[in-house]
Amino acid sequence: MSDDEAGTGPTNADGEGQDAAETPEQLLGEARRARRQARRARHAYWFPLVLFGLLTCASIPFYVQRFQAQASGVTGATRYFNSFYLGGFGFLTGFHLAYYWLAAILAGLAATAVWYRLRGDRVGLRTPSRGFVITGVALLVLALIIPIVAASGVGPMTILMPGDLVLRGTFPLVLIGVGLCVLAWAERSIALAVIAAGYLALSLVASLYDIQNVFYRLGWNLSPQTSLLPNVVLPALVLLLSGAGAWVVQRRRRPRPADPTGRGSAAAPGSAQ
């Protein structure tokens, strides 16, 4: 009896030792898988991509130039709130574009915050979208204040008024691109980071270059009234197509309400980490 116990003791001890040596690796692997599942489950960035893509499309009428209306001149009452950062130069884009982008960006930020909150309550995994909203509001405030201070000629603030960057009225797309980069960090999503970086680069090109020149070389001549449309339509298409693709992918990864295997509950610890 003592021999059996002596024989089984080391065997069990060895077995337990082997299990103990393998268990940390298994736990670490499971924790990593749970963390990845939690991040994938909480990804919901298709909504802000589609939303800001639609808001960009809605701004297209403001970029259709009406030279007859502009030639008659615009008085101070109409110019009062024209922010160069949000509306560009009035003789190119009109003097109401700044009003639109102010309302559109604020509405987009509010809708995105509500979306993430509602989805987080439904799924049980909430993405911290506060940084995205705060960044968007801070950039919007700066876009409103800097032109006013620079126009007054106070100190070196005039350096912050790059004419080439805000000339075409597409600088709000740059602000959206910066906000999406912050959202990619909050989502911990490489895919969204790639989308945001590509969109930000395209928005900078749209702000610094007349994309109609590319169409002209391809044999497509745009009218003077629609010459700015490629600078707006192409970034909008990037957001809409990326948002549609993200919706398809995230819909397939949507967690089930009741998972008998327990995988859904295993994702919760990962989200806390």
* Percentage of the chain lying above the pLDDT 70 cut: 62
Would 190 be classed as within a structural domain?
Answer: yes
SS3 188: coil
pLDDT of 93-146, one tens digit each?
Answer: 667 888 899 999 999 999 999 998 887 777 665 667 788 899 999 999 988 888
User: In terms of Cα–Cα distance, which of 114, 117, 109 is closest to 134?
Assistant: 109
How many domains does the structure of the chain reveal?
Answer: 1
Rounded to whole angstroms, the Cα distance separating 202 from 205 reads: 5
**147-153 mean pLDDT:** 71
- Helices of type H across the chain: 2-42, 46-58, 60-63, 67-71, 76-79, 84-87, 90-93, 97-123, 130-151, 163-166, 171-187, 190-208, 212-217, 229-252, 263-272
- The DSSP symbol for 223 reads P
What angle is formed at CA 111 by the lines to CA 251 and CA 116, rounded to 5 degrees?
A: 45
pLDDT at 260 over 50: no
Q: pTM (2 decimals)? A: 0.72
If one compares 153 and 250, the residue with the highest pLDDT of the two is 250
Please, which pLDDT band fits residue 253 given cuts at 50, 70 and 90? low
d(CA 40, CA 36): 6
DSSP string, 88-117: --HHHH-SSHHHHHHHHHHHHHHHHHHHHH
Q: What percent of the chain has pLDDT over 90?
A: 31
Instruction: Look at residue 48 and tell me whether its pLDDT is greater than 50.
Output: yes
Find tokens 């009225």 and name the residue: 169
What is the pLDDT, as a whole number, of residue 25? 60
Mean per-residue pLDDT of the chain: 75
Q: Tell me, what's the pLDDT at 131?
A: 86
Does 203 reside within a domain?
Answer: yes
Nearest alpha carbon to residue 98 among 153, 147, 159? 147
Give the length of the chain.
273
In angstroms, the CA 95 to CA 88 distance is 9
The vertex-66 CA angle with 62 and 70, nearest 5°, equals: 105
Residue 259 lies in a domain: no
Instruction: Retrieve residue 216's tokens.
Output: 């002209």
In a domain, 12, yes or no: no
d(CA 189, CA 183): 9
Let me know if 57 is exposed, middle or buried by CB neighbors in 10 A (0-12, 13-18, 19+).
middle
Cβ-based neighbours of 230, under 8 Å, separated by 6 or more: 206, 211, 212, 214, 215, 222
Q: Provide mean pLDDT across the span 181-199.
A: 92
Q: Is residue 34, in this structure, part of any structural domain at all? A: no
113 is a domain residue = yes
Q: Above 90 in pLDDT, residue 59?
A: yes
Instruction: Tell which wins on pLDDT, 77 or 221.
Output: 221
pLDDT of residue 159: 65
Structural domain harbouring 126: 43-253
Query: Does any domain span residue 165?
Result: yes
- Classify residue 10: in a domain, yes or no: no
Number of neighbouring beta carbons within 10 Å of residue 153: 8
Query: Given a cut of 90, is residue 76 above it in pLDDT?
Result: no
Question: Which pLDDT score, from 0 to 100, does residue 101 have?
Answer: 93
Q: How far apart are the first and last CA of the chain?
A: 49
Spell 72-109 as b/e; 16+ CB within 10 A means b.
eeeeeeeeeebbbbbbbebebbbbbbbebbbebbeebb
Instruction: Say how far apart CA 60 and CA 79 lie, in whole Å.
Output: 20
